[in-house]
Amino acid sequence: MGFFGNLVKGVKATAGGIYRLGKKITSNVSRHGKKLVNAGKGALDFIEKTPVVGDILRPATAVGRGVLGVAESAVNTVERADKMLDAGAEIAGRVEKLATGADQVIGAGRKFVQTGNVAHAKDALRRGQQLHHSSRAVARDARDALRR
């Protein structure tokens, strides 16, 4: 493995731990948050449907619905963060492949320098062009993921 491959391998090890911790946090917050919001909605529905008590507590239940709306929005934000973690992991995997490709281009260029064989130079050029196109696609997909 070359320089770029080793560099990405080290970054990947660190990022993998951060990813696992982030997924654990976001999935737990999302799961428990949904349960709390649904329980709160059920309780407010029960109170509002009770004949006398529902009329008396209508202002309080309106405030409660507002609070539940904010909580539901927070849970939705956590779910989006969870999806962003998945998108980031996918892009990291593609960057790892790009690093391997960069090492291959360097290796093909090194062979050309050592042997003087034009076929090795053409191979390095071809691999470099493929790497360039792949890197543009990864950058585009990363931008799209951030816009979501």
End-to-end CA distance of the chain: 35
Query: Which pLDDT does position 38 carry in this prediction?
Result: 93
pTM higher than 0.85, yes or no?
Answer: no
What single string gives the DSSP state of each residue in 75-122? HHHHHHHHHHHHHHHHHHHHHHHHHHHHHHHHHHHHHHHHH--HHHHH
Q: Which residues contact 126 (CB under 8 A, 6 or more apart)?
A: none
The backbone region for 76, taken as left when phi is positive above 0, alpha when psi lies in -120 to 50, beta otherwise, is alpha
pLDDT in tens, the chain (148 residues): 677 777 777 777 777 788 888 888 988 999 999 999 999 999 999 999 988 888 888 889 899 999 999 999 999 999 888 888 888 888 877 887 787 788 778 878 888 788 888 887 888 888 888 888 888 888 888 778 767 6
